Amino acid sequence: MVQIKRLQEEGIDTLAIIGEIDASSSIELDLSIAKSVGEGYKKILVDCGSLEYISSAGLGVFMSYIEEFSDKGICMVMFGLNEKVENNFNILGLADLLHIRNTKEEAKQLINELSV
């Protein structure tokens, strides 16, 4: 079960993921990102502070947007990953392909730098 809350401030759309993302729930993540993109946001923060688990279904959703983001000039930065979740990204080497920071402040700073 996963819940995704969206909050817009200062032109940034923040998606807070609460719970677990596996093959049964990855569609929720996909829909939330698609909605943000559809609404025209160029800066997307993903708050993973309450993300307890992610399997390849969820990792694949993030990967599937890499090229579209690049084409459309959209920046996405993730933050707050716990050690276990971060390890799942690292096993696949995804941490090198995505923007990941520890805190929201660092993530905001990076997204503003990347968007200049």
Rank residues 7 and 92 by Cβ distance to another protein and give the closer one. Answer: 92
Q: How many CB atoms lie within 10 A of CB 106?
A: 13
Shortest approach of another protein to residue 99 CB, angstroms? 15
Sequence-separated (6 or more) residues with CB below 8 Å from residue 95: 86, 89
Residues that bind another protein (CB under 8 A): 1, 20, 22-24, 26, 30, 53, 55-57, 59-61, 63-68, 83-84, 87-88, 91-93, 97
Of 88 and 112, CB closest to another protein: 88
Q: CA 21, 59, 99: angle at the middle one, nearest 5?
A: 115
Give the shortest CB-90-to-another protein separation in angstroms. 10
